[in-house]
């Protein structure tokens, strides 16, 4: 039997400057745990007194090893390339997500950290196929089928983390216990990845259509439900919980499948905008995203613009995929709380967002005309292939 550590615990959170990592750090600190946030970037918010911030890069093994001294548990959350133009920076995505994870595992072993909780993603399983109430017995999506580097590298990283479970610790302190949590899309007040982009599209008048089957279902997870799941997972790696989570992966969501666009309706309407009534076929929007990626590939090094949508974003939002929370409930004791988008709406309002009375100017006419022309051009190129495929 391994001895239980009775000293005050210190945990380290890679990516602790990011939205979720910071929130987790604050919650752990409230529970009386010493917390170190490890990140290349300083958090946007002020770091509360008592929590330490350590600037560092997971791509640099010596920096990770130095930071992990006297740590009991690592939450490895740092990642790169999840959304927007970042998705197209292949080299950095590989470096941070794969090399960075290898470094964290290596550093856990060499410094004697006994618990590692990895924040993975639904994408390790999902690649655009319909999944209804899937569970953890589903196989990984074959790596070559991932259309984006982020999902493929998160998958590789998760495999490496789970393979490392049971590895001997260098200093004879026992073995490393690891697990992976696979969250759905994260939301909550102050979220910086998806919501500001969505709100900027709404405010710039670009949210003119929805797409896909109105009955398609996806999932989201409130940041505080995800915090709860991570804390439970770290507990479930301990000896007093028979290391039940060791070597395991868990899907984590609010447990409420919902149509992607309907989920955002309270945000659109809460900010005083009209919800679009035009619905486009999924394959048309996918084709548009494909064209956008090609244009970005060609001109991206000269003009690194933010693509309106990428292919991954199209199927993540438009194709049904939701998972059972049963394993997380049973083994971790995870019970998602119910949240609404009201606090998100209030957060955006506090940032000055929301519909303001505006005149329809010549600039709006030019923009809407350009959007219409673009849509017609995409439809003209998409239509022959759509007809051929349906024959």
- Residues marked active site are found at 150
Question: Can you tell me the distance from the alpha carbon of 286 to that of 308, in angstroms, rounded to the nearest whole number?
Answer: 12
Shortest Å, Cβ 150 to ligand NAD: 7
Residue 179 lies near ligand NAD (rule: CB under 6 A): no
Closest CB 281 distance from ligand NAD, rounded Å: 25
Question: Does 20 interact with ligand NAD (rule: CB under 6 A)?
Answer: yes
Q: Which is nearer to ligand NAD, 84 or 205 (CB)?
A: 84
Residue from 25, 183, 188, 307 that binds ligand NAD (CB under 6 A)?
183
255 contributes a contact to ligand NAD by CB under 6 A: no
Tokens at 366, concatenated: 């030019």
Segment 111 to 170, residues that bind ligand NAD, using CB under 6 A? 119, 121, 154
User: Taking CB under 6 A as the criterion, which residues in 84-103 touch ligand NAD?
Assistant: 96, 100
Tokens of 20: 């979720």
| Contact with ligand NAD (CB under 6 A) among 141, 156, 186, 282 | 186
Q: Which member of 11, 12, 13, 14 binds ligand NAD (CB under 6 A)?
A: 14
Least CB distance to ligand NAD at residue 8 (A): 25
Is residue 15 at the binding interface for ligand NAD, with CB under 6 A as the rule?
A: yes
- C-alpha–C-alpha distance, residues 108 and 112, integer Å: 6
Q: Can you tell me the distance from the alpha carbon of 376 to that of 237, in angstroms, rounded to the nearest whole number?
A: 55
The secondary element (H helix, E strand) that includes residue 37 is strand 34-39
Cβ proximity to ligand NAD: between 188 and 307 the closer is 188
Which one of 36, 59, 104, 236 is in contact with ligand NAD (CB under 6 A)? Answer: 59
Our finding on whether 178 is near ligand NAD (CB under 6 A) is no
In whole angstroms, how close is the CB of 77 to ligand NAD at the nearest point? 5
Of residues 28, 82, 116, 195, which one binds ligand NAD by CB under 6 A?
82
14 φ/ψ sector (left φ>0, alpha ψ -120 to 50, else beta) = beta
Closest to 109 in 3D by CA, of 161, 179, 158, 159: 161
Could you tell me whether strands 248-252 and 73-76 are parallel, antiparallel, or unpaired per DSSP bridges? unpaired
Q: Is residue 41 part of the contact set for ligand NAD (CB under 6 A)?
A: yes
Helix, strand, coil share (%) of the chain residues, nearest 5 = 45, 15, 40
Nearer to ligand NAD, 53 or 275 (CB): 53
Q: Which residue number has the CB closest to ligand NAD? A: 18
CB neighbour burial string for 136-157, b if at least 16 within 10 angstroms, e if fewer = beeeebeeeebbbbbbbbbbbb
Minimum CB separation of residue 346 from ligand NAD in Å reads 20
Out of 52, 90, 173, 193, the residue judged to bind ligand NAD by CB under 6 A:
193
Backbone angles phi, psi at 248, to 5 degrees: -110, 155
Q: How many residues bind ligand NAD (CB under 6 A)?
A: 29
Residue from 34, 57, 102, 326 touching ligand NAD (CB under 6 A): that is 57
Cβ neighbors of 222 (< 8 A, separation 6 or more) are 186, 187, 188, 254, 336, 337, 339
Q: Is residue 108 within 8 Å of 150, Cβ to Cβ?
A: no
| Contact call for residue 39 and ligand NAD (CB under 6 A) | yes
Residue environment code for 61-95, b if the CB has 16+ CB neighbours within 10 A, otherwise e: bebbbebbeebbbbbbbbbbbbbbebbbbeeebbb
**Contact predicate 148/87, CB 8 Å:** yes
Binding site for ligand NAD (CB under 6 A): 14-15, 17-21, 39-41, 57-59, 77-80, 82, 96, 100, 119, 121, 154, 183, 185-186, 192-194
């Amino acid at each position: 039997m391994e001895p239980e550590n009775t000293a005050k615990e210190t945990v380290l959170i890679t990516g602790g400057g990011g939205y979720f990592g910071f929130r987790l750090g604050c919650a752990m600190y409230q529970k009386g745990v010493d917390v170190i946030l490890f990140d290349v970037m300083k958090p946007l918010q002020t770091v509360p007194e008592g929590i330490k911030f350590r600037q560092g890069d997971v791509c640099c093994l010596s920096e990770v090893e130095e930071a992990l001294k006297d740590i009991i548990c690592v939450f490895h959350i740092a990642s790169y390339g999840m959304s927007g133009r970042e998705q197209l920076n292949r080299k950095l995505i590989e470096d941070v997500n794969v090399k960075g994870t290898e470094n964290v595992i290596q550093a856990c072993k060499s410094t004697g950290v006994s618990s590692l909780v990895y924040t993975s993603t639904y994408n390790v399983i999902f690649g655009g196929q319909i999944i209804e109430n899937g569970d953890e017995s589903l196989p990984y999506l074959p790596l070559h089928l991932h259309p984006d580097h982020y999902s493929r590298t998160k998958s590789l990283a998760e495999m490496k983390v789970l393979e490392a479970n049971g590895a001997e610790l260098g200093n004879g302190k026992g073995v490393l216990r690891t697990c992976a949590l696979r969250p759905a899309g994260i939301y909550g007040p102050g979220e910086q990845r998806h919501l500001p982009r969505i709100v900027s599209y709404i405010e710039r008048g670009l949210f003119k259509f929805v797409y896909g089957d109105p009955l398609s279902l996806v999932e989201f997870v409130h940041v505080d439900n995800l915090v709860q799941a991570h804390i439970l997972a770290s507990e479930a790696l301990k000896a007093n919980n028979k290391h039940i989570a060791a070597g395991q992966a868990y899907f984590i969501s609010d447990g409420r499948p919902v149509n992607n666009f309907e989920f955002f309706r309270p945000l659109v309407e809460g900010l005083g905008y009209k919800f679009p009534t035009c619905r486009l076929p999924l394959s048309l929007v996918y084709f548009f995203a494909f064209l956008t990626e090609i244009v970005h590939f060609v001109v991206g090094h000269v003009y690194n613009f933010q693509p309106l949508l990428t292919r991954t974003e199209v199927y993540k939002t438009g194709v049904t995929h939701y998972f059972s929370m049963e394993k997380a409930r049973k083994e971790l004791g995870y019970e998602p709380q119910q949240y609404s988008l009201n606090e998100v709406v209030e957060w955006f309002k506090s940032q000055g967002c929301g519909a303001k009375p505006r005149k329809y100017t010549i600039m709006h006419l030019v923009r809407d005309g350009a959007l219409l022309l673009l849509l017609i051009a995409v439809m003209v190129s998409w239509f022959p292939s759509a007809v051929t495929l349906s024959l």
